[in-house]
Amino acid sequence: MRAPVQKLIRRPSRSIPSVILALLLLAAGSLGSWLLGHRIVSGTWPDRAATTLDAVGSATLGSAAVLIIAGIVAVCGLVMILMALWPGVPEHVEILPDAVPGQTAVTRRDLAGLVRTQVEQVDGVHSVAVTARRSRVDVVVLSVLDDLAPVREAARKKADEALDALKPVGITRSRVRIRHTS
């Protein structure tokens, strides 16, 4: 008896909240180290730090400045929580789905490379840039020809053929744009 096959894992993208939190902690740690170093060397707190601490200590919770800062901190915290929970685009895409247990998957970058290789074979194409998005493949074709309509149609047909051959799960269409280059 076989063990059940696990599906591709979709992990949330946590890089932006992590970077923001790391920068905030780095700034707070640097400030604290500088204040502690000044206190150890001179025996007193820096003048600016003393006046700031006095001003913060004398502020009431109902003052406008405290409420504004609390609101900004709350909004930043909420945004960081939402960004941590928002699912990121999975790095791998399942291709060639069938009834056989197991999955075949490629990275989005490799899928874009496979589509680019197919579109580059079209006559009149100078170069191709392909990006695999969440639900579509974006294809940008550069051509030196004056009449771009036949090249666009042939590139769209090749991109659709490549997607039909690979059958990537979740990617249903391609968008082909063409530009004239000299």
- pLDDT value for 7: 62
- pLDDT, tens digit, for every residue of 137-165? 999 999 999 999 999 999 999 999 999 99
Can you list the residues of the chain whose pLDDT is less than 50?
A: none
171 touches 108 (CB < 8 A): no
User: What's the whole-model pTM score?
Assistant: 0.61
Q: Distance between CA atoms of 163 and 175, rounded to whole angstroms?
A: 12
With a CB cutoff of 8 Å and minimum separation 6, the contacts of 60 are 66
Domains in the chain, start-ordered, CATH in brackets?
A: 15-85 (no CATH), 92-180 (3.30.70.1350)
Residue 173: in which H helix or E strand, if any? strand 173-180
Taking the C-alpha atoms of residue 8 and residue 114, their distance in angstroms, rounded to an integer, is 21
Buried b (16+ CB within 10 A) or exposed e, 90-114: bebbbbeeeeeeebebbebeebbeb
- Is residue 115 within 8 A of residue 139, CB to CB? The reply is yes
What is the predicted pLDDT for the residue at 116?
96
The Cα–Cα gap between 103 and 2 comes to 15
What would the 3-class secondary structure string for 100-116 be? CCCCEEEEHHHHHHHHH
> What pLDDT shows up at residue 139?
96
The answer to whether 154 and 123 have CB atoms below 8 angstroms apart is yes
pLDDT at 85: 77
Question: Which residues 6+ apart lie within 8 Å of 166 measured at CB?
Answer: 95, 96, 111, 114
Q: Residue 130 has what pLDDT?
A: 96
